[in-house]
Amino acid sequence: MAKLKVGVLISGRGSNMAALIEAAKADDYPAEIALVVSNVAEAPGVAVAQGQGIATAVVSHRGQPDRETFDRAVSAELERHGVELVVLAGFMRIFSPWFPQRWTGRLINIHPSLLPAFKGLHVQQQALDAGVRVSGCTVHLVTEDLDGGPIIAQAAVPVLAGDTADSLAARILRQEHRLYPLVVRWIAEGRLAIEGGRVRVAGVPAGATLLFSPEP
């Protein structure tokens, strides 16, 4: 069976991209990384992908007349490589409405909080400032609503006494690297369906949880 072709969008080091690349090396993994696109030419993740023999493209947002023009250029690269699923991995650009409409149901993101809490930037500091005792990460479908698309799965981590934004972010990131490849596998296996604005994952028995609670 042909593997699902995944395009990964990055702006920096691409640690979640690297986790996906590693997962895709397994013979039984049903997806392959067909293309990595960065809007920053010097992003370290570009060299990481090239070192793994993965096709890369740089589409700079600078000099573009508007967001949609940039979005269309990125989409053209993805389509040229036959990408079927777009995965955001530290892609620091806000899309025009055109892009999530073009890739409806085939565009996902991982956000370092338990959405819908703490959207936007600096979310670990937001969590600490709010005094929450649990934080984590969320994989969700991307829509025009920033950090507001249907939730697919989450992983929770405790907020420990003495945590800083950096220490909490590091703990969350370890779980991002576990959760993202799992969700991509589910999508490649055709297990997701949207019902009433909520995501259902086939094969999950009644009473089971899609909130993962790994070790601290």
So which residues are the catalytic ones?
111
Show the tokens assigned to 176: 């991002």
DSSP secondary structure letter of residue 205? P
Following DSSP, what letter does each residue of 24-56 receive, concatenated? HTSTT--EEEEEEEESSTT-HHHHHHHHTT--E
Residues 6+ apart with CB under 8 A from 58: 37, 38, 39, 40, 41, 46
Give the DSSP H or E segment for 212. strand 211-212
